Structure 1
Amino acid sequence: MILYLHGFRSSPASWKSRLLAEEMARRGLAGQFVCPQLSPVPAIAMADMSRLIEAAGGRVTLVGSSLGGHYASHLAEKYGLNAVLINPAAVDRIDVTKFIGEHDNFHSGERFSFTAEHAAQLRAQVARPTPERYWLLLETGDEVLDYHDAQAFWFGCRQRVYEGGDHSFTRFPELLPQLIEFAGL
């Protein structure tokens, strides 16, 4: 199964989630793709995903984008899983308190608060990566996160850095076959 974890302010309606779901369906693997709506509360999001992983009953590959990359890394270490990280948030290297305040979901418009307690929850989830578990995908043109932070945090992991692009990771469609192969599907 592939468990896709979307980013902050995002949802299962994100561009990458939809493309991966469509490609999995095209290959007859629709039942092996899951992308739930993550709670804006980090501790709740990880408790929900932990229950989902524990109930899966088989091998799970995590795919996380932006904040979802941080979550995927946390869960990969907790459960010994492999993960693809796409322009991930290296929480130990960024000031997550700058996100404290009111936000809206890009797709639903739903409003939510991100608090100092939530920032502390994110920092508490940071775990040193086991390099052989990861495939790190970065674009140097990411306007939201400095790709150098992710390169440094996930140093030693399989990495692919592309010139240009942006935070959405523009090269995602061309890497779908390799991503599915990485998941062993």
Structure 2
Amino acid sequence: MKSVLLYLHGFNSSPGSAKAQQMAAWVAEHRPDIEVAIPAQPNTPAAAWSAIEQVIADLKARHGSALRLGAVGSSLGGFMATRVSELHGCRAALINPAVRPHELLCDYLGPQTNPYSGERYELLPGHMDELRALAVPVCAPERLWVLQQQEDEVLDYRKALDEYRFARLSLECGGDHAFTGFERYPAQIIRFLGL
């Protein structure tokens, strides 16, 4: 079997985000047998999902039935990782995941600049329709682990508690949207993902 960790970053983020790099560094040091894929997702939802699907298709083409996939997603990446888990039957760890992002991101409509890439684009009402279309019901909560901090200043943690109520849940007091102290979790995440 070939184990692959797929890390999905959040809205206006990149493969250079702190959690993505912490995860990749831990794997490189402790589990170099695991391939790490951290795709740079386009800034709009349908294009981001298309890029994620292409990465998974390439992994399946290279590894075939030997592929053992596990996903990690932060914020909007958690929303996308939920979709990956449901459509591809793998486990996923969701870090402060976005729930109903088509409602959340309505507050961000208009011109945007990705702080990592410097790319400028416009978030449009049609992109909210794309997010709505990408939503999937959680049918296999046993494949999901939600890591949530109560003081997330961007997302209401209670929405995640409701959406993922039958999944494994680690709820911490304090913290923030970036998930303070994430470096405590890579080993546990890899074990949960079965990689």
TM-score, normalised via structure 2 length: 0.90
Partner deviation per Cα, 1:112-132 (whole Å, 9 max, x = no partner): 211111111001111111211
* Cα contact 2:102–2:129 (8 A) shared by 1: no
* 1:11 aligns to 2:14 (yes or no): yes
Identity, % of aligned pairs? 38
Question: 2: distance between equivalents of 1:33 and 1:96?
Answer: 29
TM-score, normalised via structure 1 length: 0.94
Question: 1: distance between equivalents of 2:53 and 2:105?
Answer: 23
Question: 2: distance between equivalents of 1:74 and 1:31?
Answer: 22
1:127 to 113, 133, 136: 136
* 1:48 aligns to 2:51 (yes or no): yes
* Cα contact 1:100–1:119 (8 A) shared by 2: no
- SS across alignment from 2:176: coil
RMSD of Structure 2 on Structure 1 (CA):
1.5
* Cα contact 1:62–1:72 (8 A) shared by 2: yes
1:102 to 111, 115, 121: 111
Give the counterpart letter for 1:175 in structure 2. Answer: Y
* Cα contact 2:84–2:90 (8 A) shared by 1: yes
Match of 2:122 in 1: 113
My pick for the range that moved more, 150-159 or 44-53, is: 44-53
Pairing 1:9-158 to 2, within 5 Å after superposition: 9-29=12-32, 32-57=35-60, 58-91=67-100, 94-129=103-138, 130-158=140-168
* Cα contact 2:96–2:155 (8 A) shared by 1: yes
1:166 to 157, 160, 176: 176
Structure 2: segments with no counterpart, 5+ residues: 61-66
Task: Please state how far the C-alpha of 1:92 moved relative to its aligned partner.
Answer: 6.2
* Cα contact 1:41–1:118 (8 A) shared by 2: yes
Question: 2: distance between equivalents of 1:139 and 1:114?
Answer: 27
Give the counterpart letter for 2:46 in structure 1. Answer: A
Question: 1: distance between equivalents of 2:69 and 2:121?
Answer: 29
My pick for the range that moved more, 19-28 or 139-148, is: 19-28
Task: Please state how far the C-alpha of 1:30 moved relative to its aligned partner.
Answer: 6.8
My pick for the range that moved more, 171-180 or 107-116, is: 107-116
* Cα contact 1:93–1:149 (8 A) shared by 2: no
Question: 2: distance between equivalents of 1:122 and 1:72?
Answer: 13
